[in-house]
Structure 1
Amino acid sequence: MYGLIKPILFRQDPELAHHLVLRNLSLLSRSGAGRALIRALCGSPYKDPVKLCGLTFSNRVGLAAGMDKDATAWRGFAEMGFGHVEVGTITPLPQQGNPKPRVFRLLQDDALINRMGFPGAGMEAARRHLSQDRPHGVVLGVNVGKNKQTPLQEAVDDYVAVVDYLSDIADYFTVNVSSPNTPNLRQLQTRGYLEDLLIQVRTRRDANRGSKPLPVFVKLSPDLDVQGLHDALDAAVGAGVDGVIATNTTLDRQGLQSAHRSEAGGMSGRPLGMKAAGFVRSVVDHLDGKLPVIAVGGIISGADATERLNSGAALVQIYTGLVFRGPALVGEIARAAAIARAPL
């Protein structure tokens, strides 16, 4: 089915096509018949339960942040068979993001470049969307960022505000300090900023979670050098967070062939795969079992997911692979992941 829809979508502006998908998924997810149609088109969810950080995931594949920024279609994505759905990035206040055009397809590379800049309706709108009837069995993550106008020295207030406001709804939070599209945001990955930020987020989480696990993850950039990566990981361990998501998009353009390869922004998709895979191995090696790792970046096949899991990742997430391969990729990865992580 996606083979019929994809050419139509790819004739549209990438951001417009994205909004069309979100709108239709949102509409379908509002009724039992619509949800049944999504399941019929995408196939039955593949069950491979796994426990991580106090949560039970129905399988090892999740939707990465960025696909459903305002949490308008997350219930529809849940019906596609994802074990978890991560919405956002959610900021405290609404903001427009960067000027358009700001999303580009690299057709020869199976890649995207985006310079969105956290556009969104803010945490109050996200709460309204997330308060709707919840699909059974899906883990809900909330990716958190700061508003563009918030100075770095006050960034912690933005992260804490979103965590405070959505703690009763989210199953986990991801602290996004690695998007390349918000000025100076990646400076928050330096140990001086990061450990204090994560401690304050964790402290607010602890105050709000009650009996919920409500783990906190931090999402890192694949463009960190070795020392920067080690400092960020040591900060995460020192702050007492629950895991690491590796990786975000990259500024690297090595090997790209498509016409839009020189556009500014973060690149995702197949060309990120080798870099992201190496980054995951480095993260796993340095953490040495202290924290679990969720792998994302360049995963466009079951084989890609298997490689990340065999390198030590506990779960995987997809975004650009879904754009280029369609919903069938969810089941393909879930089945491959079950085989890769099956006990001997």
Structure 2
Amino acid sequence: MKLTFQKKFKSMLYVSSGALAIFSGLCAYKGDEKFYKNVIMPLLHLLDPEQAHKCAIFASQYRIVPKNSYKDPESLHIQVFDKSFANPIGIAAGFDKDGKAIMGLKDIGFGFVEIGSVTPLAQVGNDKPRVFRLSNDKAIINRYGFNSEGYARVAQRVNEAKPNIGSLILGINLGKNKTTDDPIADYVQGIKMFANISDYLVINISSPNTPNLRSLQNKENLKKLLKALVSVRNNLCGKSNIPLLLKLAPDLTYQERQDIAEVLKLPECKVDGLIVCNTTIERPSLKSHNKNETGGLSGEPLKDISTKMILEMSKLTDGIPIIGVGGVSSGKDAYEKIKAGASLIQIYSSMVYEGPLIVTKIKKELMELLEKDGFHSISEAVGINVK
């Protein structure tokens, strides 16, 4: 039995090393979209999803990814949270959990990078397997459970990267430890740790993979949480204007969304923006055999759900700045979210299926759609469908 395990381990090591070598070598060349989609990504998908994720982080960490040569046009520049974004396309939290891939993600052409979710203390997350591809649905189910190297280690990496990131906007997505007795204290610690080394902070209370986390979205719990966090932010030394964003779940009822909007209108609970939305525990019509795995569903099935929620929250909050995320794989998808009220867009699952060149593809298509409709900038199109 020991010999069998050793053979399996060696086989896995050979496959992983081989796939990584191929991926790394091919990435060194100027990227071709179809080649990535039809050759590189299927090769990477020979690995189990978590191993493939690690390979992608490795490639980004050591900058063996296709360097973006596309110059962002002025029409894609946008000012949000008093920050200047070279383009509105960012990588969602969940990809670079520990701040290892910042420079590679910059090379790919993202306008902003969101790290995390990061927890105060290092924790391993949930048992494996904990991430599943739903290839027939262009979707992913994950139940990672906030696996994190912890605030201190991630802060160290961010400090090391900051001098080299130029105009790249950097956000930190904050989570709480699974066994914490005081979730507010966890987020307070994160604000104090990252306020002076990031461009915005996200309070993530919407992951479905940490017990009782989503209960913090309940009206009274949210009021107590935000009152404490906004107060801490406002009294920080050095950077009391760091934007605070709240990330919401798509599974909230309309009444719960109204309640959240009411809380956000209280001066003592006023945050600077929302991220709409996190993964869903709902299971719309799916085709893949992994469709019944527990965890949060992301990707194409979330596209319309997310866009509708962006529109609702934009109306309910009188136009609070929103980062739209969920099922974006084209310029058209991004544009629909922008017209629904999103100022910025994040992707993740679509990059898993199509590779890093999708970033430039989305930007080019988005620029063409803006021009077609007579807009000179992204900001002119934000929220035009909100009535």
CA–CA distance in structure 2, aligned partners of residues 275 and 133 of structure 1: 35
Counterparts in 2 of 1:1-344, with a 5 A limit?
1-3=35-37, 4-28=39-63, 38-39=66-67, 42-47=68-73, 48-134=76-162, 135-151=165-181, 154-208=182-236, 210=238, 213-238=241-266, 239-289=269-319, 291-338=320-367, 339-340=369-370, 342-343=376-377
Please state how far the C-alpha of 1:302 moved relative to its aligned partner: 1.1
Which structure 1 residue ranges, 5 or more long, are not aligned?
29-33
* Stretch deviating more after TM superposition (216-225 or 273-282): 273-282
Cα deviation digits, residues 53-107 of structure 1 (max 9, x gap)? 1111111111110000011112211111111100000110000100000000001
Matched letter for residue 293 of structure 1: I
CA–CA distance in structure 2, aligned partners of residues 280 and 318 of structure 1: 15
Please state how far the C-alpha of 1:212 moved relative to its aligned partner: 6.9
Matched letter for residue 52 of structure 2: A
Matched letter for residue 112 of structure 1: I
* Stretch deviating more after TM superposition (104-113 or 304-313): 304-313
The normalised TM-score by structure 1 is 0.92
Percentage identity across paired residues of the two chains: 38
Matched letter for residue 195 of structure 2: S
CA–CA distance in structure 2, aligned partners of residues 51 and 306 of structure 1: 17
Contact 1:306–1:336 (CA under 8 A) maintained in structure 2: no
Q: SS in structure 2 opposite 1:208?
A: coil
Please state how far the C-alpha of 1:342 moved relative to its aligned partner: 3.2
Matched letter for residue 342 of structure 2: A
The normalised TM-score by structure 2 is 0.82
CA–CA distance in structure 2, aligned partners of residues 16 and 312 of structure 1: 36
Please state how far the C-alpha of 1:45 moved relative to its aligned partner: 4.7
Q: How many pairs align?
A: 332
Two-structure CA RMSD over aligned residues (Å) = 1.6
CA–CA distance in structure 2, aligned partners of residues 234 and 96 of structure 1: 36
The alpha-carbon distance between structure 1 residues 20 and 49, as it changes in their structure 2 partners (threshold 3 A), is: same
CA–CA distance in structure 2, aligned partners of residues 63 and 69 of structure 1: 11
CA–CA distance in structure 1, aligned partners of residues 261 and 142 of structure 2: 26
CA–CA distance in structure 2, aligned partners of residues 71 and 86 of structure 1: 9
The alpha-carbon distance between structure 1 residues 160 and 63, as it changes in their structure 2 partners (threshold 3 A), is: same
Matched letter for residue 15 of structure 1: E
Which structure 2 residue ranges, 5 or more long, are not aligned?
1-34, 381-387
CA–CA distance in structure 2, aligned partners of residues 300 and 8 of structure 1: 20
Matched letter for residue 297 of structure 1: G
CA–CA distance in structure 2, aligned partners of residues 83 and 213 of structure 1: 21
- Please say which structure displays the higher CA radius of gyration: 2
Residue of structure 2 equivalent to 1:31: none
Contact 2:196–2:239 (CA under 8 A) maintained in structure 1: no
Contact 1:53–1:242 (CA under 8 A) maintained in structure 2: yes
